[in-house]
Amino acid sequence: MPTLFGKRVLLGISAGIAAYKSAQLARLLKKAGCEVRVIMTEGAQAFITPLTLQALTGEQVRTSLLDPEAEAGMGHIELARWAELIFVAPATADLMARLAHGHADDLLTTLCLASEAECVMAPAMNQAMWRHPATQANVATLHTLGWRLLGPDGGEQACGDVGLGRMREPEALIAELAEAPAVRDAEALRITITAGPTHEALDPVRYLSNHSSGKMGYALAAAWARRGARVRLISGPVTLATPPNVERIDVTSASEMLAATEHAAAESDIFIGCAAVADYRAEHVAEHKLKKTDASETMTLTLVKNPDIVAEIAARSPRPLMIGFAAETRDVERYAHDKLTRKGMDMIVANDVSQAGLGFGADDNAALLLWRDGDDTDSQTLPPQPKTTLADAIVDRVLMLYAHRASTAHD
């Protein structure tokens, strides 16, 4: 298992409010057995003092490229050669832009350019800054330059905004640093995933729904993000945390999910319909709570069909590669094959939700993959396993299918 023990780490701190977390990062790196030296930008010192980091690491903190004493022996080159890992946390939008374009105008950026060490950063900025096309272009450039990005996470920010941009918590960052980097074989791809149930209102307090927890869709979103894809997750009501590096859009009903999906799918290379969308909704939603009466032992509801999201997206031209899900309780392969053909999908992931410990709400799942290869249908059976590992196996198959379709399209 990968370990941080004994690793020589340069911890770079730039000028963001999240710099307060860097003290805990330094402490945890030392606790993990790392040798830690800290480089701070001028702006970072407005948020946390060099003395704090020096006390935690037991090493002098470097803050200036033009330090006569340190540079008498080319100190920045010595540091660049010493480091096995350069970890910038927080990495502001400004620092990311400078690193993406090869600037070397302070000690931290100079070290990053002069070192052959592994380079990792933890972005931290306002959610609008993170979403800005310029920042996203810099993110893509940094990936091509070999940088590994951990985060950002979603949630409430210091400015009061809510969205992606928060620096990941120190404990989570240390855990990820200790892991082997994932194979980033999906960096150029844009993925849209629907997940979780939908709630179809009957009145202000009641709704129709199902037992979907969203765990499979969220595992898929996390798997694609680890492998470098740009992931948009359209989620029904669930209690799960947003996976790192995933843009999440919350919806409630099938109609809301369709509206969000129509926009996202038009910008996607691959669409994965993992949500358990309610098949029907009430024809009329009561304005007030429906009351139980003593005069009747029954209640009659008139339901109408919801839109078929996967079928509607699959019928469009051009369209992304279409991957669907089928939760069945019997004749799994027959029903899945019918659904694959009838809805015009490229691949379907089918599972038997009647099996104890698998499917809805469980942490494990098993699946039958069916995909179209010309006029024929191929299949793959994936045995029971955690949904997190099953997600990676599904991503492997989808990537192979996508590559095959791309190669035949150019023939």
Q: Would you name the residues annotated as active-site residues?
A: 159
And the tokens for 234?
């359209």
Task: Give one DSSP letter per residue of 284-329, joined into a string.
Answer: S--SSPPPP-TT-S-----EEEPP-HHHHHHTSSS--EEEEEEEES
Round to whole Å and give the CA distance between 240 and 296: 40
Q: Coil, strand, or helix at residue 106?
A: coil
Name the region of 405 (left: φ>0; alpha: ψ -120 to 50; beta: rest): alpha
**Quick check: 246 and 204 in contact, CB under 8 A?**
no
Dist. CA 34–CA 44, nearest whole Å: 22
What's phi and psi for 189, nearest 5 deg?
-95, 145
Q: Which of 117, 281, 278 has its CA nearest to residue 202?
A: 281
8 A C-beta contact, residue 151 and residue 16: no
Neighbours of 175 (CB within 10 A): 13
**What tokens appear for 239 in the block?**
């209690």
Quick count: other Cβ atoms within 10 Å of Cβ 293? Answer: 8
Residue 206: how many CB atoms within 10 A of its CB? 14
The helix/strand/coil state of 9 is strand
CA triplet 126, 129, 130: central angle to 5 degrees?
90
Quick one: which H or E segment has residue 4? none
Q: Is 348 left (phi over 0), alpha (psi -120 to 50) or beta?
A: beta
Structural contact between residues 133 and 174, judged by C-beta atoms closer than 8 angstroms: no
Q: CA distances (Å), 113 to each of 83, 292, 331, 373, 402, in order?
A: 12, 71, 59, 47, 36
